[in-house]
Chain A
Amino acid sequence: MTTTELERPARPPVFHHLSTGRKARNHLATVLVSLAFLIALVPLVWLLATVVIKGWRALVSPDWFTHSLKGVLPDQFAGGIYHALYGSLAQALVCAVIAVPIGILAAIYLVEYGRGWLARLTTFMVDILSGVPSIVAALFIFALWISTFGLEQSAFAVSLALVLLMLPVVVRSCEEMLRLVPQELREASYALGIPKWKTIVRVVLPTALSGIVTGSMLALARVLGETAPVLVLVGYSQSINFNIFDGNMTSLPLFIYNQFTNPTAAGQLRIWGAALTLILLVMLFNLIATVISRFSAIKTK
């Protein structure tokens, strides 16, 4: 090889015009991708439109959010979903109060301490749990809570089943968030003579906080709509019940399921109204998650 050969650029600096074949392929790919996007959008928009169109009249009726169905006849459009809204929120919050701390602690164990067989076992169990169908979780709690312990059906039993469904999601998302915290930050903290547990509490968790909050809120939004546990573990009630440990308590999915057997126009309207309320509730939770993560996100300026 001569020097002149080495000095020559690896490729002559000529720009070719786009060939027709490449243009065509580019167009084809663009069309296919856009089409796939539209197809994915169709059912979503359709569903939302249907629910809004059929349900909005229920939401604007004056008693919808403030009254239960107590004393309301099946074919009479009156009352509202006050009792079901309370039921959904109470069951979800009790579930979150149990699942979020356990989930965060388990994730901390897996990321910061877990080595060897116990960590592998925990990961394996979380994997299995995340694949458990909600009806199985509900039946398990039924077998444990009602058949074995001999306790009554109650909203709390529903919350326990929801915990089983929410826990793996929380563990997973927390684990990911904690792993995103750079090892350098932990070492910087150790180098100041700060013990490991304090490093986790004061440096690692605050750094991952916004992601953990978002993950937990999304997991919560997810279990809000779970139906199997409320069908198996708690009874339907027309009126409000504030006690989660005792008595029947309606939640939004249960409300919808119950009204499904009501063929009157009022029943239909209640179904769609409750469905719309549920969707709005989930959206609200997602919105709150976004806002919280915005506020707790790490600021650089």
Chain B
Amino acid sequence: MAKRLDAKDLNIYYGKFQAVAEVTLAVPPRNVTAFIGPSGCGKSTVLRTLNRMHEVTPGARVEGEVLLDGEDIYAGGVDPVDVRRTIGMVFQRPNPFPTMSIKDNVIAGLRLAGVRDKSRLDEVAERALRGANLWNEVSDRLNKPGGSLSGGQQQRLCIARAIAVQPAVLLMDEPCSALDPISTLAIEDLIAELKKEYTIVIVTHNMQQAARVSDQTAFFNLAGVGQPGKLIEIDDTEKIFSNPGQQATEDYISGRFG
């Protein structure tokens, strides 16, 4: 079940250093939101606060609210484990579990949550691998180690692993940056497919990619080194790329800086 995500007045810190200031944004369900902006402006940091992954870093902390269908995931008593089960994440570098086979990687989320039913696990593995457009390539070697796949296949394996637990939201941090153009296209097609069922937020450095896959685009920027990153604007992708509201956005998109 896709859900909507609202971030309100996020101030995000690493120890004493404030990395991001006053970010407010809304991500509607069944919609792709792209985060763009120069390196170091806090895109990954914001993304990681959306599923409470940020607090895994020692000393990191967050002020503000993140609402999942109106429910604050940072409210007292909310278990971050539950939050992350509902809001999945795909990382920049493919990171399959090296000790597990392809199939075990895909069903890791369910199996480690205690699901034992073998036929159900098989079914989920196949559905997730088909969903990640990987089934045809690996169906004959499901018991081979996950690390034996190519980089692009590994990344799709990680996507399969993330969607196998059926999250409501899928966060992707530069999922294509380590991939060749063909694998990139495969993943972009996949995102277009996944959009029907999931709410997706994707960080990318590739403007064309943002333009191709996303419905709305958020542009982040930072005033200078040591300053916190800020959300400059968020709007429909078409509008951001044709007629942005801010000069900085236009400069960035047209390649005048960053």
Contact = CB atoms under 8 A, between A and B. Distances in A.
Interface residues of B, number: 31
B53 A192 contact: no
Q: Interface extent on A, as a size class?
A: 20 to 34
B88 interface: yes
A209 B88 CA distance: 28
A203 to B, nearest CB: 6
A212 to B, nearest CB: 13
Contacts of B158: 188
Interface string A62-93: 00000000000000000000000000000000
B96 to A, nearest CB: 8
A50 to B, nearest CB: 45
A300 B161 contact: no
A192 B95 contact: no
Contacts of A198: 112
Given A187-B91, A301-B148, A193 B98 contact: no
Nearest to A298: B98
B97 A188 contact: yes
Interface string A103-129: 000000000000100000000000000
A190 B53 contact: yes
Interface in A276-291: none
A284 B95 CA distance: 36
Contacts of B165: 192-193
Interface string B29-64: 000000000000000000000010100101000000
B53 A195 contact: no
B85 A192 contact: yes
B145 interface: yes
Interface in A150-198: 182, 184-195, 198
A202 B95 CA distance: 15
A296 to B, nearest CB: 9
A292 B51 CA distance: 39
A185 B85 CA distance: 16
Contacts of A195: 81
Interface string B93-105: 1011111000000
B161 A192 contact: yes
B140 interface: no
Interface of A: 115, 182, 184-195, 198, 202-203, 206-207, 209, 298-301
Interface of B: 51, 53, 56, 58, 81-82, 84-86, 88-91, 93, 95-99, 108-109, 112-113, 144-145, 147-148, 158, 161-162, 165
Given A203-B99, A207-B98, A298-B98, 9 more contacts: A187-B91, A191-B162, A192-B109, A193-B165, A194-B112, A194-B113, A195-B81, A198-B112, A300-B145
